[in-house]
Structure 1
Amino acid sequence: MPTFLTFDTVRAADGREVRLIAAGEIDLSNVDDLKSALSAAIGETAAAGAVLVVDFAAVEYVDSAAINVLSADSETIHKIVVHPFLLTTFRVSGLTELVTVEAAAI
């Protein structure tokens, strides 16, 4: 049974930023949903000439499958905002060496 996960994509009023917002937990059971949502957001970003921000402030858990997806698309991601509890996970994984990762102000 897949773990609970939702996505929303929001474009900034000035059109310069597309924000992919996720909530829930990301693991092997639903990583394909992350791939699909990220692919759609990358397409929207390219079409708008905007930067992509991945907002994981409401994500409580990620496993290596999610880290791998983000790493594979790191060149197209401007910034990842994560729940403070996940900041260490992103640092240890090495993702912070590929893309800017910031703790969300919660």
Structure 2
Amino acid sequence: MTTALTLTTGQDQDGAPVLVAAGEIDMSNAERFTAALSEAITDRREPLVVDLTAVEYLDSAGLAALFHHADRIEVVTGPLLSPLLAVSGLADLTTVRTR
């Protein structure tokens, strides 16, 4: 049984745009995740903070969406996904912070 994906946009305390994802990101909802990333990325100078701390599963379709926007995002993740983001090479292309 998969956990539904929820996506929430907002701003952090400094006013930077934030996209918070919770649940599972896989091929069944990666298109929605990609669209949310594209919509949340602004023309402002600061990158979009993508908070994945509540994501329980991330497959290659979700990774592809992150790679596509690597030059405009920063990723915040928990210890579950941190190794995946490092091994995939995403951590070499963008800032990845582990909470």
Q: Which has the higher helix share?
A: 1
TM-score by length of 1: 0.84
> CA RMSD for the aligned pairs?
1.8
1:27 matched to 2:26? The reply is yes
Alpha-carbon separation, structure 1, partners of 2:96 and 2:60? 16
Residue segments in structure 2 that go unaligned for 5+ positions in a row: none
Give the aligned partner of residue 72 of structure 1.
68
Residue segments in structure 1 that go unaligned for 5+ positions in a row: none
| Alpha-carbon distance, 1:5 to partner | 0.1
Q: Percent identity?
A: 45
1:83 matched to 2:71? The reply is no
SS state at 1:84 partner: coil
Whether contact under 8 Å (1:3, 1:29) holds in the other structure is no
1:60 matched to 2:77? The reply is no
How many matched pairs?
Answer: 99
Deviations 1:38-80 (A, max 9, x none): 01101xx21x544310000000110111111100110111x10
Give the aligned partner of residue 40 of structure 1.
39
Alpha-carbon separation, structure 2, partners of 1:68 and 1:76? 14
SS state at 1:85 partner: coil
Give the aligned partner of residue 99 of structure 1.
94
| Alpha-carbon distance, 1:11 to partner | 1.6
> Post-superposition, which runs of at least 4 consecutive aligned residues in structure 1 deviate over 2 A?
12-15, 48-51
